[in-house]
C-alpha cells in the first residue's frame, strides 16, 4: 500500500523558529509543494535555515524575547506576508496555547495541536488528573501536601517502599529524600520539611513511590483532525544530563523483545491522546521501572528534537504528516497496522558544550567537515564561520544512525562520530565517543542515572593530542601554500 | 615557523614547523615537533594531500584521514581546553621571549631594525 499524495494546494508556511528544526520544516514544506518562509533576526542575518526557505523575512530584534518568543510580532509578520500557516518547531512558542489561539483567531493555522490540548497537557497537575481519569497509570503517591509523619507512613505502606519525600514547591533535586522503610520516613520527614521551608519558603511535603533505576521511555503519537490517532512506537531517552537528553534510541533496548510491554505502553499513549482529543504530532513520556511497569510523566504537544529516530525505524516523515494533519489534508495512513518498524536507530545530540562539565561553551566554528558511514543522517545548522551564541540551545546538530540491529547502529554511530569534525568549538563529541564504547551502554543496560552513576565523562581523556594539532596546522599551512 | 598555543591559564605549548617539502601540486610534507623545557619532543612528519577538493593527512602515506578545511584559527580546542593560537610570535603579557625569539606587543610587522649587532640598548 502506498501513501497517496492528496490533491495539493500550495500554502504559505512560515517557520517561527531557527536552526536545524527550521531547516527540517522548510524541507518538508518544499516536499509538499508549500512555500516555506524563513525568519531571520538582527543577530542572525546569515541563519543556516534560510537556504532551505523560498522566502526570507526579517524579524526585527535580537533577543529571543523580541523575536521568537514574541507572539504579537510573529503574528504581525505573518499577516504582512499573507501566511496561511505557522510551524513553531520545538521550544520557543511551540507549546504556548495563547500563541496558538492568537494565530487561530486571526485565520492562520497553527501547525500543532488544538489550543485546548496544549492547555490541558501543558499543566502538570491537570494532565496528571486527566491521565488518572483516562486510566493511564501515574506515579503512585499524593497529589497534595501530607500533614503529618503518621499520614506519610500510612501512604508509604500503601504504595510500597522505597518512597520519595518531596517538597511540594521543590525542584532541581532539592527538598527530596529517598526512604527505604517506615523508620527512614520517620527519621527524615521533619528534616526534609525544614530543608524545603528554608529553600522554597514552603515546608509542605508529598509522598511518591520511588522508581528505582528508572528508564525514560516515550511514545510518538500522530493524530489528525478527522479522529485518527496512531502511535509510531517508542523511543528510549535515558541518557540524560541535567534532565536533558543527549542520546536517544528507538526501539527501547530495555523493552527489547517484550512485545506485550511495547503494545501496552503504545496503546496507553494512544488512549491518553484520544482522551485529550489530540490532533497533531506529540509525545507521551513515561517513566519505566525495573519490572517494566510504567507511569505517565507528561505529554509534549509538539514535535520532539529526537523525532528523526522514529522516522528512521518507521520510514515515515513526521514533519510532513504534522503539516498535513494541521492543514486538514489526508495523512494517507489507513490504520495502525500500516505503521511498521524495522531496524534500530540512535541519535546523538551534538552540543556546543564542555565534554566533561557538560556546561555550554559558545564559540566560533572555524572548520566543519564530515566523513560519515553510508546512510548517516545529520540534521544540523553548522557551517564554517558560525558563531554559536549563548542565546540559544547548545544543540548544533543531531547525528542519527540506523542499523538492522542495535549493534550495527552502535557501530555506525561510532564511525559517524569519528567522521564528524567541528573545529573551534568545545563539543560533547569526546563524551559521546566514550559512551558509545562504554559496556553498560553497549549492552543497553542503563537508566536515567547513567551519567551520574557510570560517569563516562570521567573517562574522557584530556591529554594533549600532538598529532591532532599537527594535522590541523599542516592543513592550514597547505591551504596557505595554495595546495 | 613557530606556533604558540596558550590556554586561559597561560600554559604554553610550542609547536615548531621545522621542514616543508612540496612533492607535487597536491602533496606536501611537513615536519613538526613540540618544544618542552627547551627539548624537542613528539617529532612527526605529516603529509597533506588534496583529493577532490578535500584535505587528507597521513603520517605514512598509506593511511589517510580527512581534516576540515580551515584558515589559521585564532583558537583551537583540545577536548576541554581552549588554546589561543599565535603563529610566529608570542604576544606580550604572556611570558618573556626565549633566546632567538622576538617578543612583540601585538600582532604586527617589523618595518625597520635600528639597533646593530653588539650595540647596547637601554629600556626607556
Q: What is the pLDDT of residues A336-370, one digit of tens each?
A: 999 999 999 999 999 999 999 999 999 999 999 99
pLDDT for the residue numbered A6: 56
pLDDT at A2: 47
Domain A215-466: which topology? D-amino Acid Aminotransferase; Chain A, domain 1 (3.30.470)
> B28, A483: Cβ pair inside 8 Å?
yes
Q: How far apart are CA A412 and CA A162, in angstroms?
A: 40
The active-site residue out of A302, A349, A377, A406 is A302
Min CA distance, B112 vs chain A (Å)? 26
Cα(A59)–Cα(A42) distance, integer angstroms: 8
What grid cell was written down for B85? 593560537
Residues of chain A in contact with residue B35, where contact means CB-CB under 8 angstroms, are none
Q: Where are the domains of chain B?
A: 2-104
Question: Does the pLDDT at position B40 exceed 70?
Answer: yes
Domain A149-209 maps to which CATH number in 3.30.1490.20, 3.40.50.2000, 3.40.50.920, 3.30.420.10?
Answer: 3.30.1490.20
pLDDT 10s digits, A208-266: 999 999 999 999 999 999 999 999 999 999 999 988 999 999 999 999 999 999 999 99
- ipTM for this prediction: 0.81
With CA atoms as reference, report the closest residue to A316 among A398, A233, A385, A237: A233
Cell triple for A444: 543497553
Find the residue in B nearest to A353 (Cα). Answer: B80
What residues does each domain of chain A span?
12-111, 149-209, 215-466
Reply yes or no on whether A302 is catalytic.
Answer: yes
CATH architecture of A12-111: 3-Layer(aba) Sandwich (3.40)
> Please, what is the Cα angle at A471 between A469 and A477, to 5 degrees?
105
Rg (CA), chain A: 24
A404 to A226, A262, A343, A443, A455: CA distances (angstroms): 35, 19, 4, 16, 29
Average pLDDT over residues B44-53: 96
- Judged by CB atoms closer than 8 Å, whether chains meet at A421 and B68 is answered as yes
Nearest by CB to A355, from B1, B34, B80: name it.
B80
Q: Which residue has the higher pLDDT, A334 or B105?
A: A334
Question: A50-102: per-residue pLDDT in tens?
Answer: 999 999 999 999 999 999 999 999 999 999 999 999 999 999 999 999 999 99
Three-state secondary-structure class, residue B69: coil
pTM here is 0.88
How distant is the Cα of B111 from the closest Cα of chain A, in angstroms?
23
What's the pLDDT score for residue A1? 46
Q: Is the pLDDT of residue A316 over 90?
A: yes
Residues of A with CB under 8 A from a CB of B: 354-357, 363-364, 366-369, 371, 384, 419, 421-426, 430, 460-462, 464-481, 483
In this prediction, residue B34 carries a pLDDT of: 96
DSSP codes joined into one string, A22-39: HHHHHHHHHHHT-EEEEE
Contact B68 A423 (CB under 8 A): yes
Does residue A326 sit in helix, strand or coil?
Answer: helix
The yes-or-no answer to whether A12-111 and A149-209 have a common fold is: no
pLDDT score recorded for residue A126:
86
Amino acid at each position: 500500500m502506498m501513501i497517496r499524495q492528496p490533491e495539493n494546494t500550495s500554502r504559505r508556511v512560515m517557520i517561527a523558529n531557527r536552526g536545524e528544526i527550521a531547516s527540517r520544516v522548510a524541507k518538508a514544506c518544499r516536499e509538499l509543494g508549500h512555500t516555506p518562509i524563513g525568519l531571520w533576526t538582527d543577530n542572525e542575518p546569515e541563519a543556516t535555515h534560510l537556504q532551505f526557505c523560498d522566502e526570507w523575512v526579517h524579524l526585527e530584534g535580537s533577543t529571543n524575547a523580541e523575536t521568537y518568543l514574541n507572539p504579537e510580532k510573529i503574528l504581525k509578520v505573518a499577516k504582512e506576508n499573507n501566511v496561511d500557516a505557522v510551524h513553531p518547531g520545538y521550544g520557543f512558542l511551540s507549546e504556548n496555547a495563547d500563541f496558538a489561539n492568537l494565530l487561530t483567531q486571526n485565520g492562520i493555522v497553527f501547525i500543532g495541536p488544538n489550543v485546548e490540548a496544549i492547555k490541558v497537557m501543558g499543566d502538570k497537575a491537570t494532565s496528571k488528573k486527566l491521565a488518572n481519569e483516562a486510566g493511564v497509570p501515574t506515579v503512585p503517591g499524593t497529589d497534595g501536601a501530607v500533614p503529618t509523619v503518621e499520614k506519610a507512613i500510612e501512604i508509604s505502606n500503601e504504595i510500597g517502599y522505597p518512597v520519595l519525600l518531596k517538597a511540594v514547591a521543590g525542584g532541581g533535586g532539592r527538598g527530596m529524600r529517598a526512604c527505604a522503610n517506615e523508620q527512614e520516613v520517620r527519621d527524615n520527614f521533619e528534616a526534609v520539611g525544614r530543608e524545603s521551608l528554608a529553600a522554597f519558603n514552603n515546608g509542605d511535603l508529598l509522598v511518591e513511590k520511588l522508581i528505582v533505576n528508572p528508564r525514560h521511555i516515550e511514545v510518538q503519537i500522530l493524530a489528525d483532525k478527522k479522529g485518527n490517532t496512531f502511535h509510531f512506537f517508542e523511543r528510549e531517552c535515558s541518557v540524560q544530563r541535567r534532565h536533558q537528553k543527549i542520546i536517544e534510541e528507538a526501539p527501547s533496548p530495555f523493552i527489547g523483545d517484550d512485545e506485550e510491554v511495547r503494545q501496552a505502553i503504545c496503546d496507553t499513549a494512544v488512549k491518553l491522546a484520544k482522551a485529550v482529543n489530540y490532533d497533531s504530532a506529540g509525545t507521551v513520556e513515561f517513566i519505566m521501572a525495573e519490572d517494566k511497569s510504567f507511569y505517565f510523566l507528561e505529554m509534549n504537544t509538539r514535535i520532539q528534537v529526537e523525532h528523526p529516530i522514529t522516522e528512521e525505524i518507521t520510514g515515515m516523515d513526521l514533519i510532513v504528516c504534522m503539516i498535513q494533519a494541521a492543514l486538514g489534508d489526508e495523512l494517507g495512513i489507513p490504520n495502525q497496522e500500516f505503521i511498521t518498524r524495522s531496524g534500530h536507530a540512535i541519535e546523538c545530540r551534538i552540543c556546543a558544550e564542555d565534554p566533561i562539565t557538560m556546561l555550554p561553551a559558545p564559540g566560533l566554528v572555524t572548520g566543519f567537515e564530515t566523513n560519515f558511514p553510508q546512510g548517516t543522517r545529520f540534521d544540523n545548522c553548522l557551517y564554517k564561520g558560525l558563531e554559536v551564541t549563548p542565546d540559544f540551545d547548545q544543540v548544533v546538530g543531531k547525528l542519527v544512525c540506523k542499523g538492522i540491529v542495535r549493534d550495527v547502529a552502535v557501530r555506525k554511530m561510532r564511525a559517524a562520530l569519528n567522521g564528524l569534525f567541528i573545529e573551534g568549538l568545545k563539543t560533547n563529541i569526546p563524551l559521546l565517543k566514550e559512551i558509545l564504547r562504554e559496556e553498560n551502554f553497549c549492552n543497553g543496560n542503563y537508566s536515567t542515572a547513567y551519567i551520574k552513576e557510570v560517569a563516562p565523562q570521567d573517562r574522557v581523556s584530556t591529554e594533549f593530542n600532538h598529532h591532532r594539532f599537527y594535522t590541523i596546522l599542516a592543513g592550514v599551512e597547505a591551504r596557505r601554500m595554495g595546495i | 615557523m613557530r606556533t604558540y598555543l596558550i590556554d586561559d591559564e597561560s600554559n604554553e605549548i610550542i609547536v615548531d614547523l621545522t621542514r616543508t617539502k612540496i612533492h607535487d601540486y597536491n602533496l606536501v610534507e611537513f615536519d613538526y615537533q613540540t618544544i618542552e623545557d627547551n627539548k624537542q619532543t613528539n617529532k612527526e612528519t605529516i603529509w597533506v594531500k588534496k583529493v577532490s577538493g578535500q584535505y587528507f593527512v597521513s603520517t605514512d602515506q598509506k593511511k589517510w584521514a580527512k581534516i576540515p578545511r580551515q584558515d589559521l584559527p585564532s583558537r583551537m580546542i583540545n577536548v576541554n581546553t581552549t588554546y589561543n593560537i599565535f603563529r610566529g610570535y608570542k604576544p606580550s603579557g604572556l611570558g618573556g621571549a626565549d633566546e632567538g625569539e622576538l617578543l612583540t606587543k601585538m600582532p604586527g610587522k617589523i618595518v625597520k631594525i635600528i639597533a646593530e649587532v653588539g650595540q647596547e640598548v637601554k629600556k626607556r
